Structure 1
Amino acid sequence: MSTHDEVRELAGPLRSEADLDPLIERIGDARIVAVGEASHGTHEYYSWRAALTRRLIEERGFHVVAVEGDWPDCYRVNRSVRLRPGADEDPRDALDSFARWPTWMWANDDVVDFCRWLRGVNAARPEEQRVGFYGIDVYSLWESMHGLVEWLRQHEPEHVDTAVQALACFEPFGEDGAEYAFASRLAPTSCEQAAVDLLRSLCEERGLQEADGSPPAHDPEARFAAEQNAAVVVDAERYYRAMIRGSAESWNVRDVHMADTLDRLLAHSDDGTRPPKAVVWEHNTHIGDARATDMADAGMTNVGQLLRERHGADDVVLVGLGGYRGGVIAGESWGAQMARMPVPPARPGSLEALLHEAVGEDALFVVPRQDRPDWLARRLDHRAIGVVYRPEREKWGNYVPTVLGERYDAFLYLEDTAPLQPLHLERADEHVPAPAHAV
């Protein structure tokens, strides 16, 4: 049998949500489903990811959606979709407030549609069974610090001094991660200890409450959010210091933080009445197992690898998405205004070119557990478009060597794609984080 015949034999149709049935069956009772995307600016990736997530929530009891976004911004969305008191009645308002570049990743029509649907589902459920929407990324050092100080002033004033001291350590750097990173490289001290002390004080307070059996003095969900903001401060400080060294370390700090945050979310949502289950939305470079790419050779791990190592392959399903040609929203450089860009046909010899030649239409591939065809074990270039993209570099860049059958448990292939629709243009006063990796 030829390679093209092997590809066609494994390909399933991908025209409607019902065509996801083989993937739902493959997921089975797994507690974590991580769904990727080949770019942060493609409508079809977002719509198919949302379609799969809707089915997992309705049919398999998933109740956490964790995304590659900042904790403070996404927590405002979480409050909206869970109908919390004082929250935005329309999730669009929460998403439209996103102010860290690239805003289009989450402030777009596809995410609005999903979050409005999620709010409607949650409205029919008791509060303790509502599905949450959380950001697990690490960039929001200052936003998390300010949010934490505000919460402590209202609920635990005895910890305010510790938080203010930590904030004062960072303030001279003007909320600029790069400036802080350069300064910490040149100076013998950093703000690391202040951040760690802050998190420790919160954890010790919770430990004391749990030890004496006293009921929580305030909303457990809000306190969990405060603790997570403190954890972001600790890891973001480490991330920015590692970033300046220009190695794989900053990538690993970021992905370990995201995996740790997911574990905390699973533990927090475990009320003993149902198995905690989470869907993760991130770029393929975070979702697909790094050991099946050249990332491992560079000393990099990622969320997909960490999930398999921590929870076992049977409890984790990794789903990749990719396309042959179309369009995308991206920036020409870090911090640049967003633009609609063409995505040319995938270069010859790539994974996407093979699927185009063999199938030529949208298709679902579920990786067999045994007796895999040879093409799934072959290392092929697999397109990866970040928030920075230059189509003219397609001949030598924008691809990650990938063994598909080891990197993912399933793959959604799309023949043609279109740019997503942002809620707003990038604003002049928005925050641009210091770059380390543009995905």
Structure 2
Amino acid sequence: MASTETGGQARREARPLRDADDLDPLLEQVGSSRVVLIGEATHGTSEFYRWRAELTRRLIAEKGFSFVAVEGDWPDCHTVHCSVVGATGAPEDPREALDAFSRWPTWMWANEEVVAFTRWLRAHNRGLPPQHRVGFHGLDVYSLWDSLRAVLDYLAEHEPEHLSTAREALRCFEPYGESPQSYALASRVVPESCESEVVALLRDMRAADTGPQSGAGALDERFIAAQNAEVVAGAERYYRAMVRGGAESWNVRDSHMVDTLDRLLDQYGARSKAVVWEHNTHVGDARATDMAAAGMVNTGQLARERHADDGVLLVGFATHRGSVIASDNWDGPVRRMPVPQARTGSLEALLHEAGGGEDALFVFPPGQESRNGWSQEVLDHRAIGVIFQLDVERRGNYVPTVPGRRYDALLYCDHTTALHPLHPVEQADTEPEAFPSGD
């Protein structure tokens, strides 16, 4: 239970969070930072998506940020990118591109909140020359087969001399029927894998690097194909590591996402700036959680390490109670589920008690590490992924966290509501059976 003194300090440090103007202190904290990472405590909360979009709009309009990079697949997000920058032949309404997302969990990006943001982004871009238009890109590692097919299509049309290398990679993966789990299990039982074929494909794709393009409208087809090859390589490493357990697969995935972010920053040019949208578990610095003791790194930590001279700002979210979109098993039905009140002694319980149920913004200026107080204490911090089960919530779903070190700012939304997916959802009428949560 938080002490009266701790709660009083949190109450004094709380800033109002009611409308977009209340983000002014956070915009001031951003300053000239080149990379701003904005999290979410769940993958299915409307308020998190809406506040994240509001902050991103201001970063784009007032700070000149160049692109948004999300915890999503490169090929699917590239279709959204083409729509928002007005590429020839792309959907005029980004909703069409988002509605086509088919890999589970579709609701993470195929939802009304992202539709509203991407429509705003397309309208914003319409008044800008192509080289200044703001992009939308996927950072994740899961799209092995879609990315491999995209590489094959590009090489068949533009570089047939490298096509045989890509076909060798495809032939290697074909026996697994586009099932990453089958490939991962096979690589554990049989020493042979597709690693050498993928390395050869990467070598060919990296051999003719086009260099910086400067702007969303200038991302050429070869860069896009080369990034798809990087996804194939990252996915192959990820799925092999996944079956071995431990921290390696997590580290492969987050390292891939930061490598992709770095390639985008290079491609957009030396003055480019990036907004990243991912779960808190990726955005908040792992060194301020128990992840570090488990040998895990994450996007926020790596971004701080790689871009310390450029300026990096990490923004987290938290909620006390409400509802959420999630599932009770992997590939299971999408459901609107209740989020119970945060457990006693957690960060969320502290902020609820300190703020009397009001939403609040907390900004942690540099140098706070030497101070005492709630933001420098280890507090359990709720994290809900695409899998949510109420029994697990009672036993776990909390990450020991030093808030003022994990984040540079925290948006607290006391009572939150479920996201609005484009695809059908079910109402959870019973407590789901036990299953570990994912993010």
Match of 1:323 among 319, 325, 336: 319
Equivalent position of 1:7 in the other structure: 10
Equivalent position of 1:283 in the other structure: 279
Provide the C-alpha distance between the structure 1 equivalents of 2:381 and 2:438, rounded to a whole number of angstroms: 16
Equivalent position of 1:356 in the other structure: 352
The alignment-based identity, stated in percent, is: 59
Letter in 2 for 1:293: T
- Aligned 1:221-300 pairs, distance under 5 A: 221-270=220-269, 275-300=271-296
1:6, 1:373 within 8 Å by CA — same for their partners in 2?
A: no
Pairwise CA RMSD of aligned residues? 1.8
Equivalent position of 2:395 in the other structure: 396
Task: Tell me the SS of whatever aligns to 1:376.
Answer: helix
1:12, 1:363 within 8 Å by CA — same for their partners in 2?
A: yes
1:37, 1:45 within 8 Å by CA — same for their partners in 2?
A: yes
> Could you list the per-position Cα deviations for residues 132-157 of structure 1 after superposition, in whole angstroms to 9, with x for gaps in the alignment?
00000000001100111111112222
Provide the C-alpha distance between the structure 2 equivalents of 1:186 and 1:386, rounded to a whole number of angstroms: 30
> Could you list the per-position Cα deviations for residues 61-102 of structure 1 after superposition, in whole angstroms to 9, with x for gaps in the alignment?
001100000000000000000000110111000000001000
1:243, 1:436 within 8 Å by CA — same for their partners in 2?
A: no
Task: Tell me the SS of whatever aligns to 2:208.
Answer: helix
Equivalent position of 2:153 in the other structure: 150
Provide the C-alpha distance between the structure 2 equivalents of 1:170 and 1:314, rounded to a whole number of angstroms: 40
Match of 2:304 among 305, 308, 321: 308
Q: CA deviation at 1:368?
A: 2.5
1:337, 1:425 within 8 Å by CA — same for their partners in 2?
A: no
Provide the C-alpha distance between the structure 2 equivalents of 1:156 and 1:416, rounded to a whole number of angstroms: 54
Which has the higher mean CA deviation after the structures are superposed, 367-376 or 257-266? 367-376
1:103, 1:426 within 8 Å by CA — same for their partners in 2?
A: no
Letter in 2 for 1:322: A
1:364, 1:410 within 8 Å by CA — same for their partners in 2?
A: yes
Matched pairs, number: 420
2:289, 2:406 within 8 Å by CA — same for their partners in 1?
A: yes
2:387, 2:438 within 8 Å by CA — same for their partners in 1?
A: yes
Equivalent position of 2:123 in the other structure: 120
Is 2:82 the partner of 1:75?
no
Letter in 2 for 1:41: G
Provide the C-alpha distance between the structure 2 equivalents of 1:205 and 1:413, rounded to a whole number of angstroms: 47
Q: CA deviation at 1:131?
A: 0.3
1:64, 1:279 within 8 Å by CA — same for their partners in 2?
A: yes
Which has the higher mean CA deviation after the structures are superposed, 387-396 or 96-105? 387-396
1:75, 1:134 within 8 Å by CA — same for their partners in 2?
A: yes
Letter in 1 for 2:361: L
> Could you list the per-position Cα deviations for residues 153-190 of structure 1 after superposition, in whole angstroms to 9, with x for gaps in the alignment?
12222211111111111011001111101111111211
Is 2:438 the partner of 1:438?
yes
Provide the C-alpha distance between the structure 1 equivalents of 2:158 and 2:129, rounded to a whole number of angstroms: 26
Equivalent position of 1:214 in the other structure: none
Q: Structure 1: where are the runs of 5+ without partners?
A: 211-218, 428-434
Task: Tell me the SS of whatever aligns to 1:325.
Answer: strand
Letter in 2 for 1:229: N
Q: CA deviation at 1:9?
A: 1.2
Task: Tell me the SS of whatever aligns to 1:308.
Answer: helix
Provide the C-alpha distance between the structure 1 equivalents of 2:437 and 2:76, rounded to a whole number of angstroms: 21
Provide the C-alpha distance between the structure 2 equivalents of 1:426 and 1:102, rounded to a whole number of angstroms: 12
Letter in 2 for 1:296: A
Match of 2:21 among 6, 13, 18: 18
Provide the C-alpha distance between the structure 2 equivalents of 1:437 and 1:73, rounded to a whole number of angstroms: 24
Q: Structure 2: where are the runs of 5+ without partners?
A: 212-217, 427-434
Equivalent position of 2:215 in the other structure: none
Is 2:165 the partner of 1:162?
yes
Task: Tell me the SS of whatever aligns to 1:50.
Answer: helix
> Could you list the per-position Cα deviations for residues 213-247 of structure 1 after superposition, in whole angstroms to 9, with x for gaps in the alignment?
xxxxxx75221110000000011000000000111
Equivalent position of 1:430 in the other structure: none
Which has the higher mean CA deviation after the structures are superposed, 153-162 or 316-325? 153-162
Task: Tell me the SS of whatever aligns to 1:2.
Answer: helix
Provide the C-alpha distance between the structure 2 equivalents of 1:167 and 1:423, rounded to a whole number of angstroms: 32
Task: Tell me the SS of whatever aligns to 1:138.
Answer: coil
Task: Tell me the SS of whatever aligns to 1:419.
Answer: coil
Q: CA deviation at 1:313?
A: 7.2
Q: CA deviation at 1:370?
A: 3.2
Match of 1:49 among 52, 56, 63: 52
> Could you list the per-position Cα deviations for residues 341-372 of structure 1 after superposition, in whole angstroms to 9, with x for gaps in the alignment?
00001000000000000012100000032354
Q: CA deviation at 1:203?
A: 1.3
- Aligned 1:163-202 pairs, distance under 5 A: 163-202=166-205
Is 2:339 the partner of 1:340?
no
Match of 1:366 among 331, 346, 363: 363
Letter in 2 for 1:376: S
Query: TM (normalized to structure 1)?
Result: 0.93
Q: CA deviation at 1:396?
A: 1.2
Provide the C-alpha distance between the structure 1 equivalents of 2:424 and 2:156, rounded to a whole number of angstroms: 35
Is 2:88 the partner of 1:85?
yes
Letter in 1 for 2:240: R
Letter in 1 for 2:333: Q
Letter in 2 for 1:286: H
- 132 and 279 in structure 1: CA distance in 2 versus 1, 3 angstrom threshold: same
Provide the C-alpha distance between the structure 1 equivalents of 2:244 and 2:159, rounded to a whole number of angstroms: 37
Provide the C-alpha distance between the structure 2 equivalents of 1:29 and 1:252, rounded to a whole number of angstroms: 29
Provide the C-alpha distance between the structure 2 equivalents of 1:9 and 1:227, rounded to a whole number of angstroms: 50
Q: CA deviation at 1:199?
A: 1.1
Letter in 2 for 1:295: M
